[in-house]
Chain A
Amino acid sequence: MKGSSYTLPAKRRWRGLVIAVLGLVFLSMLVPLIFLLGLHNSFHSGAGYTTEQQSSASNGFRVYDQHDGGSTRNQSERDQSTHVDDLIKRLGPTLSKDFRRNSVKEAENKTIGFPIPTDVLKPHPKTHNTRTRGTVEVVKYMKGDDESEKSCEVKFGSYCLWRQEHREKTKDFMVKKLKDQLYVARAYYPSVAKLPAHDKLSHELKQNIQEFERILGETTTDTDLPPQIEKKLSKMEATIARAKSFPVDYSNVDKKLRQLVDLTEDEANFHMKQSAFLYQLAVQTMPKSLQCLSMRLTVEYFRSSSLDLELSLAEKYLNPALHHYVIFSNNVLASSVVINSTVMHAKESGNQVFHVLTDGQNYFAMKLWFFRNTYKEATVQVLNIEDLNLKDHDNTTLLHLSLPEEFRVSFRGVDKRSMIPIKTEYISVFSHSHYLLPKIFRTLDKVVVLDDDIIVQRDLSALWSHDMEGKVNGAVQFCTVRLSQLKNYLGENNFDGNSCAWMTGLNIVDLVRWRERDLTETFQMLVQEQLSMGEGLSEAVSLRASLLTFQGLVHALDDAWVLSGLGHDYGLDIQGIRKAAVLHFNGNMKPWLELGIPKYRGYWRKFLNPENQFLSDCNVNP
């Protein structure tokens, strides 16, 4: 089967050529897919995109540079343009450099894109007869836009989802009409001016053009237009009609117009790159209010004389008879929301023990926060992963916190009869830190791992009596992605191509079986194996190793347990959200960011206490 992917707007017709539905993922400019593919050299020259037809099995990606402005661009714009290019280039390699330096250390929610062919999951009836009838193709202004929107998503991921939501429609039809007329008049003017016999007409045209330029220079909205504008418009129309009636050399008109198209498209392209970059930045950096909170808590921690806990708690931490929840997090608010939402819906909270695993940077803030706040009857332990003293762990290498890793997958359907809308998904997998679980919690037999970007809306106690059927990891499966589609990443290993990918967010982990099977060892071996192959696929390493490690050991939880997508999908059903036991804000638009999806943020925010002094001091108001 063949698939193809497009990036330029006017290629919409190509879909006629394509028979298969094919998902391809591209690198977004900041998301170093190219590193996955080992093409970093090409990346240095700009953001790449692919335009090539490609066989789904091969890795034959071609990377092209984004085309940038022509020489007609004026100097200042040129400066700006190089500026953006600089930004993009810099951030790309910087990220990758860091990855390589300490791939284990990465403590951020990385979002990584990778291509997967989707031909397996959506077998298409190969009916070639066109059933599209009566599709009238008129010049619809937004039509071209539509198409570029889709290629945008492949290229830039959730940035494009975000911008679609933020787009406002033009209301100013009159202004648009004036612009249209001006455009046409300008195109005709040079040719008409060349006809000496029609001095009067060319004079008239010129006057009209000047008048329109003046009006449009003063206003950009319909409401600000001068009165009698309709009259002026019809005058212009009449003049243009007359100009059109003369045999003019069209090639000039044509050329001018094409230049204009070209210039504007360049400009649009430039701004698109710029805003995609800024968006990516905004989802990767930390709001000042959260930084303030973290600093306040840290300073407060050191000022408070003693945070000694009752010894009885230590017993609870180790007691295998209780319900133990583990959260890896570097975000005090997020982990607090997870715990708060869990206890609020728990039938019994006295038997709940939460273990928050964080890093040295956030430890003191977390420690103070969870000391000062109580969560019904539940117990909370904060652990600094850098300080853990694990037996038989090589103590020369520092332990670093790594959060679940998120990967962006885009599915792109191009089909003869209908455009299957593009779909961007985020799947997340266990990272290195998760493989320390059996060592960190030696006395425990079972834990439930919660990501810090979820909230709980139901009592979770049923998870503890859930029959795992001998499996190690109870997880929600993500069957839109099957392992066979990832074979480029999974390599030559034996695996069942039909099994689904699974998600983090809510995982029941049977530590006893984990230890029995020595899965940590398996994982580390797979990582070593991959690293020794030295393919520089640093990010895909944990994806591959995790999926292979739990091959056949995943027990599928009912889909009703978790609803995911609240960090990227604007179109989730409200009923579904209300009903789900757990909501997962996977994706870029985390609820604690200003870019979080507004209509879902309420579900998260209600588990914060607005009265909290620290929050109001720091203006934390997500």
Chain B
Amino acid sequence: KQEQSKQTTVRHDRNVQSQTRRVIDEKVKEMKDQLTRAKVYLNFAPPNSNSQLVKELKLRIKEVERAMGESKHSNLSKSALQRMKSMDATLLKASCVYTDCSAMAGKLRAMTYNAEEQVRTQKKEVTFLVQLAGRTTPKGLYCLSMRLTAEYFALQPEERNFPNQHKLHDPNLYHFAVFSDNVLACAVVVSSTISSSMESGRIIFHVVTDSLNLPAISMWFLLNPPGKATIQVQSIDTFEWLSTKYGTTLQKQNSHDPRYTSALNHLRFYLPDVFPMLNKILLLDHDVVVQRDVTGLWNVNMKGKVNGAVETCQEGEPSFRQMDMFINFSDPMVAKRFGVKTCTWAFGMNMFDLHEWRRRNLTGLYHNYLQLGNKRPLWKAGSLPLGWVTFYNQTVALDRRWHVLGLGYDSGVGRGNIERAAVIHYDGFMKPWLDIGIEKYKDYWRKHVKYEHAYLQQCNIHR
């Protein structure tokens, strides 16, 4: 009972607090308005005027500004109210001197214009800088990779092997694939999956990275084995079949955007070749967190289709995508083959039926489209438009609760939606491991990061 009364008091206090806050906010708004008016009047005065009124206005501005600053963290002081009063008096005086209404409008317009201009240029700046931030690596993450790499090479070759490798090709187990060059992101995908799974002993993780990151990522999982689950780390650079069978090396395109340059990003179209012994695999992007047991996906009826994905064609939602946003429908071949209204879907969490994929030779189809796209501008860069055309008519919709998108660019994703979702996806620039990540979503990711690990501590990676 005491507890209850305590709670009531707390609630009451909070009410009072928020009420005072509101009063202060009101006052602050009033003060701002006073300042604007005072500044306009100052604008009317002839240059270098030192009249009594000008002096007074300047003094009042200073006073009110100070009062405004103080009222931010403390309660409104009496003197603040006093200052507002004096300001009011001065403004009244000024309004008697300067009465020209349309001139006033002009001044105010000029002030607004200045601010508008600033907003315009700053928005441009922000866009540029956010993209720039996407092309940089936090120092802590870099440090972590470097330390792990050095550690890996200090191991004897026989110490570099993972246990349970006989399970890797068993088609009766739950196989997950992650393609990534980011050790921390990989670690979160794996550990979040394991911690939310009911039967981790039947889970096999296939991490594919490049030769640069293989040592660091392997070392991480050697130091932090994923419970009962099995893990495999491979390098894309050892996939010789890429050049022998397809005559391609997935060479990097000359673009600054990492999403387009990464060969790992395009490896998804070769899944049947990466895993020749498997029939089904769940492909996860490295910017996801798994929050529920997802083995239920293996029981979803794929209706003979190849790709199980959540759809992104609900108009009005932030995730809304339409075919013609990335695909050029003015091309007759495109217009003939695809419907512009066809529902779009997302990568991030995809169930692939590799058996059906092989039967329909979709990798071959992908290759044809890739080559066509190299000859003329059919679609934008990146794997998504190519995915849409490759898996056209081969995609089955999954319930949206399986996979919630937008945590990397949209600050309006509902909390309920996020917490109900089996997989949440930080698609967009604002990855949770970057400083520009959206703060309120970071905790869902952070809780799977081993901050207490010695290497993270050494590299100054903190919560």
Chain A residues in contact with chain B, CB under 8 A?
Answer: 8-11, 13-14, 16-17, 42, 45-46, 51-52, 62, 64-65, 67, 70-71, 76, 79-80, 83, 86-87, 90-91, 94, 97-98, 108, 130, 132, 135-137, 139, 141-142, 144-145, 148, 163, 166-168, 170, 176, 179-180, 183-184, 187, 244, 250, 253-254, 257-262, 264-265, 267-268, 271-272, 274-275, 278-279, 281-282, 284-288, 291-292, 294-296, 298-299, 302, 360-362, 364, 594-595, 619
Cβ 8 A contact of A76, one of B213, B261, B412: B412
State whether A145 touches B101 (Cβ < 8 A).
no
State whether B118 touches A271 (Cβ < 8 A).
yes
Instruction: Spot the interface stretch: B43-51, B164-172, B282-290.
Output: B43-51
Q: Give the distance in Å from the alpha carbon of A287 to the alpha carbon of B142 in the complex.
A: 10
State whether B72 touches A268 (Cβ < 8 A).
no
State whether A254 touches B439 (Cβ < 8 A).
no
Q: Which residues of A contact B126 (CB under 8 A)?
A: 271, 274-275, 278
B108 at the interface (CB under 8 A from A): yes
What are 15 A-B pairs with beta-carbon distances under 8 A? A71-B29, A83-B439, A144-B111, A163-B121, A179-B113, A264-B112, A268-B118, A275-B122, A275-B126, A278-B133, A281-B133, A285-B137, A296-B212, A299-B149, A299-B212
Q: Which residues of A contact B252 (CB under 8 A)?
A: 619
Top 3 nearest A-B pairs (CB, nearest first) are: A64-B69, A278-B129, A271-B122
Instruction: Spot the interface stretch: B5-13, B30-38, B338-346.
Output: B30-38
Q: Which residues of A contact B29 (CB under 8 A)?
A: 70-71, 262
How many B residues have CB within 8 A of the partner chain? 85
Q: Give the distance in Å from the alpha carbon of A54 to the alpha carbon of B433 in the complex.
A: 41
Q: Which residues of B contact A268 (CB under 8 A)?
A: 115-116, 118-119, 122
Look across to chain B and name the residue whose beta carbon is closest to the beta carbon of A133: B48
B331 at the interface (CB under 8 A from A): no
Q: Give the distance in Å from the alpha carbon of A286 to the alpha carbon of B132 in the complex.
A: 11
Look across to chain B and name the residue whose beta carbon is closest to the beta carbon of A46: B72
State whether A184 touches B109 (Cβ < 8 A).
yes
Q: Which residues of A contact B336 (CB under 8 A)?
A: none
Cβ 8 A contact of A184, one of B39, B48, B105, B435: B105
State whether B118 touches A282 (Cβ < 8 A).
no
Q: A264-B112, A278-B129, A594-B132 in contact; A145/B117 too (CB < 8 A)?
A: yes
Within 8 A of A (CB), among B261-277: 261
State whether B411 touches A76 (Cβ < 8 A).
yes
Q: A67-B68, A360-B150 in contact; A139/B118 too (CB < 8 A)?
A: no
State whether B440 touches A262 (Cβ < 8 A).
no
Q: A254-B101, A278-B129 in contact; A295/B109 too (CB < 8 A)?
A: no
Q: Chain A's nearest CB lies how many Å from the CB of B319?
A: 16
State whether A170 touches B117 (Cβ < 8 A).
yes
Query: Interface readout for B31-75 with A: 1 if CB under 8 Å, 0 if not?
Result: 011011101001101111010001000100110011011101100
Q: Chain A's nearest CB lies how many Å from the CB of B300?
A: 34
State whether A286 touches B142 (Cβ < 8 A).
yes
Q: Which residues of A contact B213 (CB under 8 A)?
A: 295
Q: Which residues of A contact B258 (CB under 8 A)?
A: 288
Look across to chain B and name the residue whose beta carbon is closest to the beta carbon of A101: B460
State whether A51 touches B147 (Cβ < 8 A).
no
Cβ 8 A contact of B439, one of A90, A132, A144, A286: A90
State whether A264 touches B115 (Cβ < 8 A).
yes
Q: Give the distance in Å from the alpha carbon of A274 to the alpha carbon of B122 in the complex.
A: 9
Q: Which residues of B contact A10 (CB under 8 A)?
A: 35, 39, 42-43, 61
Q: Give the distance in Å from the alpha carbon of A288 to the alpha carbon of B132 in the complex.
A: 10
B145 at the interface (CB under 8 A from A): yes
State whether A166 touches B145 (Cβ < 8 A).
no
Q: Give the distance in Å from the alpha carbon of A274 to the alpha carbon of B124 in the complex.
A: 12
Q: Chain B's nearest CB lies how many Å from the CB of A27?
A: 15
State whether A291 touches B104 (Cβ < 8 A).
no
Q: Which residues of A contact B117 (CB under 8 A)?
A: 141, 145, 170
State whether A286 touches B108 (Cβ < 8 A).
no
Q: A145-B118, A288-B135 in contact; A166/B72 too (CB < 8 A)?
A: no
Q: Which residues of B contact A292 (CB under 8 A)?
A: 212
Q: Chain B's nearest CB lies how many Å from the CB of A48?
A: 9
Within 8 A of A (CB), among B437-462: 438-440, 460, 462
Besides A51-B62, A244-B102, A261-B115, 11 other A-B contacts (C-beta < 8 A): A8-B65, A52-B66, A64-B69, A90-B439, A184-B109, A264-B116, A278-B133, A281-B129, A285-B133, A288-B137, A298-B146
Look across to chain B and name the residue whose beta carbon is closest to the beta carbon of A265: B115
Q: A87-B439, A274-B126 in contact; A257/B118 too (CB < 8 A)?
A: no
Q: Which residues of A contact B368 (CB under 8 A)?
A: none
Query: Interface readout for B417-435 with A: 1 if CB under 8 Å, 0 if not?
Result: 0000000000000000001
B25 at the interface (CB under 8 A from A): yes
State whether A16 touches B48 (Cβ < 8 A).
yes
State whether A286 touches B118 (Cβ < 8 A).
no
Look across to chain B and name the residue whose beta carbon is closest to the beta carbon of A68: B72
Q: Which residues of B contact A136 (CB under 8 A)?
A: 47
Q: Which residues of A contact B222 (CB under 8 A)?
A: none
State whether A70 touches B129 (Cβ < 8 A).
no
Q: A45-B72, A136-B47 in contact; A254/B106 too (CB < 8 A)?
A: no
B130 at the interface (CB under 8 A from A): yes
Q: Which residues of B contact A187 (CB under 8 A)?
A: 105
Q: Which residues of A contact B69 (CB under 8 A)?
A: 51, 62, 64-65, 67
Tell which of A282, A295, A595 has the most Cβ of chain B within 10 Å: A295
State whether B150 touches A364 (Cβ < 8 A).
yes
Q: Give the distance in Å from the alpha carbon of A432 to the alpha carbon of B119 in the complex.
A: 43
State whether B133 touches A282 (Cβ < 8 A).
yes
Look across to chain A and name the residue whose beta carbon is closest to the beta carbon of B412: A76
Q: Chain B's nearest CB lies how many Å from the CB of A185?
A: 11
Q: Chain A's nearest CB lies how many Å from the CB of B205?
A: 22
B362 at the interface (CB under 8 A from A): no
Q: Chain A's nearest CB lies how many Å from the CB of B19?
A: 14
Tell which of A91, A179, A184, A265 has the most Cβ of chain B within 10 Å: A265
Q: Chain B's nearest CB lies how many Å from the CB of A414?
A: 14
B299 at the interface (CB under 8 A from A): no
B238 at the interface (CB under 8 A from A): no
State whether B108 touches A258 (Cβ < 8 A).
yes
State whether A291 touches B137 (Cβ < 8 A).
yes
Look across to chain A and name the residue whose beta carbon is closest to the beta carbon of B104: A254
Q: Give the distance in Å from the alpha carbon of A17 to the alpha carbon of B48 in the complex.
A: 10
Cβ 8 A contact of A135, one of B48, B50, B121: B48
Look across to chain B and name the residue whose beta carbon is closest to the beta carbon of A75: B412
B123 at the interface (CB under 8 A from A): yes
